[in-house]
């Protein structure tokens, strides 16, 4: 949103302060403090249950990728070489990879920095989607 407004306003106006000697950036930050706090709480509340679900799916994928269906004969699965077994093994490893990636992303969200610059794109998108 800030970049959108910067493009609309002539360049020399961006350095002018208001009567309280505040820059446009300071005014933006003051007006959106509540929004930043609300968004941080929403992100935290949303990412915690999602990380639990990703961890559960990851543990199931780990269990299925480390054990072979059916029995084994001298350490080799009896179903080895059959297309269904190969498809199961590949799907299990892909699921494990995706669940670990998802878990990492959901754990990184609450620890990421929350700055005004981070909301530049998301606020613009929300404005145009509304």
Q: Which of 35, 50, 41, 61 is nearest to 119 (CA)?
A: 35
The reported pLDDT for the residue numbered 28 is: 76
**Interval 64-111: pLDDT, tens:** 877 777 777 777 777 888 888 888 888 888 988 998 998 888 888 777
**Please, are residues 61 and 95 in contact by the beta-carbon 8 Å criterion?**
yes
Report the predicted TM-score, pTM, of the whole model to 2 decimal places.
0.58
pLDDT at residue 26 is higher than 50: yes
How many whole angstroms from its chain centre is CA 25?
A: 27
pLDDT at residue 54 is higher than 60: yes
Q: Where are the domains of the chain?
A: 32-129
Q: What is the rounded average pLDDT for all residues in the chain?
A: 77
The reported pLDDT for the residue numbered 130 is: 43
């Amino acid at each position: 949103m800030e970049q959108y407004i910067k493009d609309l306003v002539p360049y020399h106006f961006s350095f002018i302060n208001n009567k309280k000697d505040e820059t446009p950036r300071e005014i933006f930050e003051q007006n959106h403090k509540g929004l930043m706090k609300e968004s941080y709480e929403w992100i935290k509340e949303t990412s915690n249950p999602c990380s639990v679900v990703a961890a559960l799916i990851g543990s199931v994928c780990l269990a299925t990728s480390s054990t072979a269906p059916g029995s084994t004969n001298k350490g080799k699965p009896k179903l080895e070489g059959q297309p269904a077994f190969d498809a199961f093994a590949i799907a299990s490893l892909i699921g494990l990879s995706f669940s670990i990636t998802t878990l990492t992303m959901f754990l990184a969200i609450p620890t990421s920095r929350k700055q005004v610059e981070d909301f530049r794109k998301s606020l613009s998108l929300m404005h145009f989607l509304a």
